Amino acid sequence: MLRPYRGVMMVVLWIVVALWALGEIGLQLLQLLRSERTKTREWGSYGGIMITAILAVVAAGLLRRVLPGLAFPFHEPGWVLATAVLIALGGGFRLWSIATLGRYFRAVVHIQENHHVVRTGPYRVLRHPSYTGLLVGLLGISLLFGNYASAVVFELLVIVGVLYRIQIEERMLLDGLGADYAAYMRETNRLIPGVW
């Protein structure tokens, strides 16, 4: 009875995943075209996120094979729906965050001429809402492994890369924007409203 429904849900899920991936690629290309070139920039933390993401995929894949007893039926409608919702919510929140930053968003941490602290949209509450969206979306992606251990390790490794990136980004923004960014840091949380 659930077979046709399950098939439709899986198609919807993979459409959501494809839209996420295309959105991320499009954002990276768009930011390269519209943001100005700067002297002060930092690539290492972007590389760190990429390395931890690759490690996360490899580790999660290995754990799925080594610990089959921790598998869950990710292709069942409830799991498919949860996965699609997490990816869509995370991706949507990330897109809103990036759109709010406008020309200040880049994959490479940098300070532009006339750079200022953005305090609108999700930045009223969080300093790094695009990473919050990324982590929520990747929580959905982690469910695609269909294994509890894989999902946890995948998300934890990605969190390590994001936290390293946040540390570098905040240091550069504090150096470049000074007291205004220091005040903003006191007024907002990093990733989770009211928590951290």
- Domain assignment present for residue 25? The answer is yes
Read off the pLDDT band of 16 (50, 70, 90). Answer: confident
Domain count, the chain: 1
- Domain assignment present for residue 144? The answer is yes
Mean pLDDT of 119-128: 96
Element (H, E) at 73: none
Least confident of 35-49, 92-106, 149-163: 35-49
Is residue 1 scored above 60 in pLDDT? Answer: no
Is residue 3 scored above 60 in pLDDT? Answer: no
Mean pLDDT of 92-106: 88
- Domain assignment present for residue 192? The answer is no
- Domain assignment present for residue 76? The answer is yes
* CA-wise closest residue to 141 among 93, 85, 63: 85
- Domain assignment present for residue 196? The answer is no
Q: Which domain holds residue 148?
A: 3-187
- Domain assignment present for residue 158? The answer is yes
Mean pLDDT of 106-126: 87
pTM of the model: 0.82
- Domain assignment present for residue 153? The answer is yes
Helix 129-142 crosses helix 77-101 at what angle (to 10 degrees)?
Answer: 160
User: What pLDDT is attached to residue 81?
Assistant: 87
Q: Is 196 exposed, middle or buried (0-12, 13-18, 19+ CB in 10 A)?
A: exposed
- Domain assignment present for residue 137? The answer is yes
Task: Give the CATH number of the domain where residue 14 resides.
Answer: 1.20.120.1630
Mean pLDDT of 152-173: 93
